[in-house]
């Protein structure tokens, strides 16, 4: 696309967008469209651009899948639902270009001088923002400034099957039904989930876009311009903060991070465009009064191995509603299909949230029973999002940095064997175990990590006790598939008391359980496994070791139901201790906020429901999958620790502030939601041991 043509078109598009910002004003000048006749009628307006045949598919299916994945910008829709005379636009590109008005090639001038920002919603400013960003020619003329990844193999202007390349990863210009460039730009998954591999410079789809400054990109939006009178009036009418304030907030997020749900009030400022149309969107749009902390973008490689997704574990492959849809993707065994589908939904939901392709939400709504659409319409939707080709791209192996093999082997042994710290004996199970007693429970429950000890105990843990999982339901022979990190007791801390062990004396809060450490197994990992294998020959597949998404830890370790008001108390009580403001949904005015939970006696099939329940603060965090770590700094869910080595330092010695990206951004760990505390594991190792451990982590 030529920048000149683009500019001319974009200007008129933006003018139209600003004019239409007040939805009421737009409608006044047109006959009202007929009301949509149920959700299915909405889908009738949706067109999959891949059905517009433009030449034969490339013969190489791998290349075709790659093209499909990279160019996937979702479907086209009528601007006015149910009105066949209204223009057909790519929902995603139209949203960002016409409605939101991101400065793809408009000059950017952001001048913020001491603008106060209240991050935690308590009505008092937590910091002020002073930043001056000037980018002539906008986002596309200054990709480095925005942390975008250039794509030399896919240069700007190259026409693909359904879009034109912008020359940077994750931004595409869709071709219209007539095959001509639309002049609008849309975002794909790779904007946030793609990056050049530091090991060899190759672009890897699935690595987090750690340099990409999504907040800066959004801050260029025309709807945030307070000189845009109609936009400003609309913001006031809906009770949203002024554009300048939202910009200041966005500029505080920094590269590699963004908030999926709130978008700092940006998406809700294009009023009535889609939320009027799709009932479900009202559900995902939230106000601007809760906490809207940016979180760091995770690696999403080989995601089908995951049992829980997102930092909070908010998506679970055990969710009952996934069951309904296993048939939709077909051809796979049940468990694999559930995992793949969870990823597809993630995909669709993300498209819906980030790119405003609302058919995805409608689809998700239909699945969860919030909207009724026919089975055929439901089955058609996944194709619009190229989810299968996206998954295929994520499974591709990528180069790891060269590591010192001997040091990495020593690091691996430390990871598997050394006690790294102590933690409160509490974990959250997203779904209750398949135990008869827990059969009637739904939603999250609490269970001890070690069922032989009380919930209030601190249990000693190795890295591998948390960062390992056996996620796959397929059952395999233990002789051929030993536990990848060498011990059964990384995951099983107690054993039902068998009659042959009647003489063993060991303390246990549950008289039916014995600590594994009390069993007559040898001390070495090999002896332990041999002992256990004597009676257990088969096991569920351990899957890829790096997926440790099976455990959730509550921030509220002392169980007072309040995770956010006094995080130091929870740290002292042995909590995971990282910044607890992952729950951005709860408005400050509703603090303290907690959810009641059933307590189980263990996390296994023999679990019983304990007499007393518990309550816990609304936020918990999933054990991070350790994959592609070398390419995904900064670390922790809020991206508050700049290097792996710093994560092994006590929090007080981790850097309090560090630069990120290329636009003058400094990450300040002292701001609410940015804390770098907690996860103290391994901080007492020697310097040499830490170096070995880092070498191992870099190899994953
Ligand atoms: C604007 C940035 C952005 C875009 C675009 C984006 N994501 Fe994400 N993605 C995120 C962030 C941030 C998270 C972490 C969210 C959380 O923890 O709540 C995430 C989480 C995920 C996860 C879960 C990973 C894990 O470790 O559990 C998957 C899978 C995922 N995204 C897939 C996709 C797909 C597929 C697309 C394209 C359809 C996409 N994302 C587009 C930012 C983005
Ligand atoms: C990385 C974690 C992990 C390791 C290591 C591990 N397991 Fe498991 N094991 C699990 C999970 C997860 C389950 C399923 C629990 C459930 O379904 O509630 C399980 C279940 C079991 C069960 C119950 C099977 C059933 O169908 O009820 C036995 C027995 C078992 N494991 C034995 C072992 C033995 C012996 C070893 C060492 C050779 C071992 N495990 C190592 C995670 C692990
Ligand atoms: C002497 C034989 C024997 C040995 C050795 C043995 N187990 Fe078991 N294990 C059993 C039996 C029998 C059961 C079923 C007990 C029951 O359901 O009451 C069982 C059950 C289990 C369960 C399921 C617990 C539950 O709550 O459903 C796990 C997990 C397990 N064993 C792990 C191990 C591990 C790990 C080791 C090695 C430390 C080990 N076993 C060693 C015989 C053995
Ligand atoms: C009690 C369980 C537990 C133990 C033990 C544990 N971790 Fe973690 N780890 C977590 C959780 C939970 C997170 C996510 C925390 C967050 O983001 O707030 C995490 C995050 C991480 C991360 C950051 C990953 C990312 O993508 O940002 C690394 C690296 C890591 N752990 C390495 C280790 C090492 C090395 C050890 C041993 C020295 C260890 N962990 C011990 C639970 C544990």
Which phi-psi region, left, alpha or beta, contains residue 40 (left: φ > 0; alpha: ψ -120 to 50)? alpha
Q: 251, 216 in Cβ contact below 8 A?
A: yes
What mean pLDDT do residues 456-460 have? 94
- 641 has pLDDT over 60: yes
For the segment 32-76, what is each residue's pLDDT rounded down to a tens digit?
A: 444 446 778 778 888 889 888 775 566 777 788 888 889 988 889
626 exposed, middle or buried (CB, 10 Å; 0-12, 13-18, 19+)?
buried
700 vs 590, residue with greater confidence: 700
What does the alpha-carbon distance between residue 336 and residue 388 come to, in Å, rounded to a whole number?
A: 13
Domains identified in the chain, total number: 3
Q: Does 214 contact ligand 1 (Cβ within 6 A)? A: yes
Going by pLDDT thresholds of 50, 70 and 90, the confidence category of residue 100 is confident
pLDDT of residue 14: 29
Query: Is 33 contained in some domain?
Result: yes
The domain of 148 spans: 3-48+60-294
- The closest residue, in CA terms, to atom 20 on ligand 4 is 624
Residues 6+ apart with CB under 8 A from 639: 254, 256, 257, 294, 295, 296, 660, 667
pLDDT of residue 24: 29
What does the alpha-carbon distance between residue 682 and residue 647 come to, in Å, rounded to a whole number?
A: 9
Q: Output the average pLDDT for the chain.
A: 83
Going by pLDDT thresholds of 50, 70 and 90, the confidence category of residue 278 is low
What does the alpha-carbon distance between residue 483 and residue 531 come to, in Å, rounded to a whole number?
A: 13
- The closest residue, in CA terms, to atom 5 on ligand 2 is 488
Residues 6+ apart with CB under 8 A from 195: 149, 169, 203, 204, 207, 208, 209, 210, 211, 212, 631
What does the alpha-carbon distance between residue 269 and residue 17 come to, in Å, rounded to a whole number?
A: 12
Query: Is 314 contained in some domain?
Result: no
Residues 6+ apart with CB under 8 A from 340: 304, 329, 332, 391
Residues 473 and 532 in one domain: yes
- 400 has pLDDT over 90: yes
- The closest residue, in CA terms, to atom 3 on ligand 4 is 466
> Of 239, 268, 294, which closes a domain?
294
Residues 637 and 556 in one domain: no
For the segment 534-543, what is each residue's pLDDT rounded down to a tens digit?
A: 999 999 888 7
pLDDT of residue 315: 81
Q: How far is the CA of 526 from the centre of ligand 3 (A)?
A: 17
Q: How far is the CA of 192 from the centre of ligand 1 (A)?
A: 7
Q: How far is the CA of 343 from the centre of ligand 1 (A)?
A: 10
Tokens of 432: 């209750």
- The closest residue, in CA terms, to atom 3 on ligand 3 is 535
Residues 572 and 664 in one domain: no
For the segment 343-386, what is each residue's pLDDT rounded down to a tens digit?
A: 776 666 666 655 566 677 777 777 777 778 888 887 777 777 77
What mean pLDDT do residues 280-294 have? 58
Ligand 1 pocket mutation pick from 186, 188, 296, 298 by most atoms within 8 angstroms of CB: 298
Residues 30 and 129 in one domain: yes
What mean pLDDT do residues 161-180 have? 94
- 511 has pLDDT over 70: yes
Q: 75, 51 in Cβ contact below 8 A?
A: no
What mean pLDDT do residues 584-595 have? 72
Residues 216 and 199 in one domain: yes
Distance of CA 30 to the CA centre of its chain: 40
Residues 37 and 169 in one domain: yes
For the segment 132-146, what is each residue's pLDDT rounded down to a tens digit?
A: 999 999 999 999 999
Residues 486 and 502 in one domain: yes
Residues 6+ apart with CB under 8 A from 202: 196, 398, 399
Residue 243 has phi, psi (to 5 degrees) of -55, -40
> Of 569, 600, 620, which closes a domain?
620
- 183 has pLDDT over 50: yes
Which phi-psi region, left, alpha or beta, contains residue 664 (left: φ > 0; alpha: ψ -120 to 50)? left
Query: Is 78 contained in some domain?
Result: yes
Residues 578 and 669 in one domain: no
Q: 581, 293 in Cβ contact below 8 A?
A: yes
pLDDT of residue 600: 93
pLDDT of residue 66: 87
Residues 675 and 575 in one domain: no
Residues 452 and 600 in one domain: yes
Query: Is 404 contained in some domain?
Result: no
Residues 159 and 287 in one domain: yes
**Which has the closest alpha carbon to 265: 305, 292, 234, 228?**
292
CA distances for 389 relative to 73, 133, 246, 337, 446, angstroms: 13, 37, 36, 15, 37
19 vs 229, residue with greater confidence: 229
Within 6 A (CB) of ligand 3 lie 488, 492, 495-496, 498, 500, 516, 519, 521, 528, 531-532, 534-536, 604-606
Query: Is 370 contained in some domain?
Result: no
Query: Is 389 contained in some domain?
Result: no
From the CB of residue 430, how many other CB atoms can be counted at a distance below 10 Å?
23
Query: Is 605 contained in some domain?
Result: yes
pLDDT of residue 59: 73
Q: How far is the CA of 452 from the centre of ligand 2 (A)?
A: 17
- 673 has pLDDT over 90: no
For the segment 239-276, what is each residue's pLDDT rounded down to a tens digit?
A: 778 889 889 888 888 898 876 445 545 555 554 566 66
From the CB of residue 293, how many other CB atoms can be counted at a distance below 10 Å?
22
CA distances for 612 relative to 516, 552, 601, angstroms: 26, 21, 11
Query: Of the given ranges (176-190, 303-317, 402-416), which has the lowest mean pLDDT?
Result: 303-317
> Of 275, 294, 313, which closes a domain?
294
Distance of CA 163 to the CA centre of its chain: 26
Tokens of 480: 């051929």
Q: How far is the CA of 69 from the centre of ligand 1 (A)?
A: 15
pLDDT of residue 370: 76
Going by pLDDT thresholds of 50, 70 and 90, the confidence category of residue 330 is low
- 15 has pLDDT over 90: no
Find the farthest-apart pair of alpha carbons in the chain and give their distance in angstroms, rounded.
87
Q: How far is the CA of 525 from the centre of ligand 2 (A)?
A: 15
644 CA closest ligand 4 atom index: 29
What mean pLDDT do residues 643-663 have? 94
What does the alpha-carbon distance between residue 345 and residue 368 come to, in Å, rounded to a whole number?
A: 11
Residues 644 and 530 in one domain: no
Query: Is 163 contained in some domain?
Result: yes
CB burial readout 238-251, b (16+ within 10 A) else e:
eebbebbbbbbbbb
């Amino acid at each position: 696309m030529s920048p000149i043509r683009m500019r001319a078109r974009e200007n008129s598009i933006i003018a139209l967008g600003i004019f239409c910002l007040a939805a009421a004003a737009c409608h006044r000048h047109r006959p009202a469209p007929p009301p949509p006749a149920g959700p299915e009628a909405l889908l009738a307006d949706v067109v999959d651009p891949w059905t517009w045949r433009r030449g034969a598919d490339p013969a190489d299916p791998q290349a075709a899948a790659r093209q499909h994945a990279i160019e996937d910008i979702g479907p086209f829709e009528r601007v006015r639902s149910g009105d066949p005379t209204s223009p057909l636009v790519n929902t995603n590109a139209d949203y960002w270009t016409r409605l939101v008005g991101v400065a793809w090639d408009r000059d950017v001038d952001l001048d913020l001088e001491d603008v106060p920002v209240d991050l935690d919603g308590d009505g008092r400013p937590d910091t002020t923002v002073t930043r001056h960003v000037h980018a002539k020619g906008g986002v596309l003329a200054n990709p480095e400034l925005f942390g975008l990844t250039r794509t030399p193999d896919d240069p700007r202007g190259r026409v693909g099957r359904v879009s034109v390349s912008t020359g940077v990863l994750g931004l595409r210009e869709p071709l219209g039904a007539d095959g001509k460039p639309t002049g609008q730009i849309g975002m794909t998954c790779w904007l946030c989930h793609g990056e050049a591999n530091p090991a060899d410079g190759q672009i890897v789809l699935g690595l987090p876009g750690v340099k990409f400054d999504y907040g800066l990109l959004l801050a260029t939006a025309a709807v945030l311009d307070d000189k845009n009178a109609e936009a400003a009036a609309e913001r006031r009418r809906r009770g949203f903060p002024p554009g300048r304030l939202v910009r200041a907030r966005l500029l505080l997020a920094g590269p590699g991070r963004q908030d999926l749900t709130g978008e700092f009030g940006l998406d809700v400022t294009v009023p009535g465009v889609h939320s009027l149309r799709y009932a479900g969107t009202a559900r995902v749009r939230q106000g601007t009064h809760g906490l809207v902390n940016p979180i760091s973008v995770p690696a999403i490689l080989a995601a089908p191995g995951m049992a829980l997704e997102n930092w909070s574990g908010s998506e679970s492959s055990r969710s009952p509603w996934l069951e309904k849809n296993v048939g939709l993707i077909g051809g796979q065994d049940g468990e694999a299909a559930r995992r793949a589908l969870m990823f597809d939904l993630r995909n669709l939901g993300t498209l819906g949230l980030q790119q405003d392709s609302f058919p995805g939400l409608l689809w998700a709504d239909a699945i969860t029973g919030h909207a009724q659409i026919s089975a055929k319409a439901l089955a058609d939707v996944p194709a619009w999002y190229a989810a299968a080709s996206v998954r295929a791209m994520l499974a591709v192996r990528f180069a790891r940095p060269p590591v010192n093999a001997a040091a990495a082997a020593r690091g691996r042994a430390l990871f598997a064997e050394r006690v790294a710290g102590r933690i409160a004996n509490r974990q959250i199970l997203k779904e209750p175990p398949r135990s008869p007693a827990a059969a009637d429970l739904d939603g999250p429950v609490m269970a001890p990590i070690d069922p032989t000890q009380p919930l209030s105990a601190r249990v000693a843990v190795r890295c591998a006790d948390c960062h390992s999982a056996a996620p796959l339901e397929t059952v395999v022979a233990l002789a051929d598939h030993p536990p990848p990190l060498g011990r059964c007791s990384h995951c099983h801390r107690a054993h039902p008391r068998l009659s042959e062990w009647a003489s063993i004396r060991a303390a246990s809060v549950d008289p039916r359980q014995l600590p594994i450490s009390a069993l007559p197994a040898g001390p070495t990992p090999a002896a332990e496994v041999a002992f256990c294998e004597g009676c257990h020959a088969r096991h569920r597949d351990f899957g890829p070791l790096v997926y440790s998404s099976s455990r959730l830890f509550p921030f509220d370790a002392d169980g007072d139901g309040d995770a956010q008001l006094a995080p130091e108390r929870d740290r002292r009580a042995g909590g995971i201790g990282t910044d607890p403001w992952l729950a951005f949904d709860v408005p400050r005015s509703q603090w303290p906020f907690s959810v009641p939970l059933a307590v189980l006696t263990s996390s296994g099939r023999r679990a019983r429901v304990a007499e007393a329940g518990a309550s816990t603060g609304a936020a918990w965090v999933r054990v991070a999958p350790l994959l592609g770590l070398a390419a995904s700094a900064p670390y922790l869910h809020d991206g508050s620790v700049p290097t792996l080595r710093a994560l092994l330092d006590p929090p007080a010695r981790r850097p309090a502030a560090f630069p990120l990206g290329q636009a003058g951004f400094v990450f300040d760990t002292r701001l609410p939601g940015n804390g770098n505390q907690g996860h103290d594991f391994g901080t007492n190792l020697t310097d040499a041991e830490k170096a070995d451990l880092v070498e191992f982590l870099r190899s994953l």
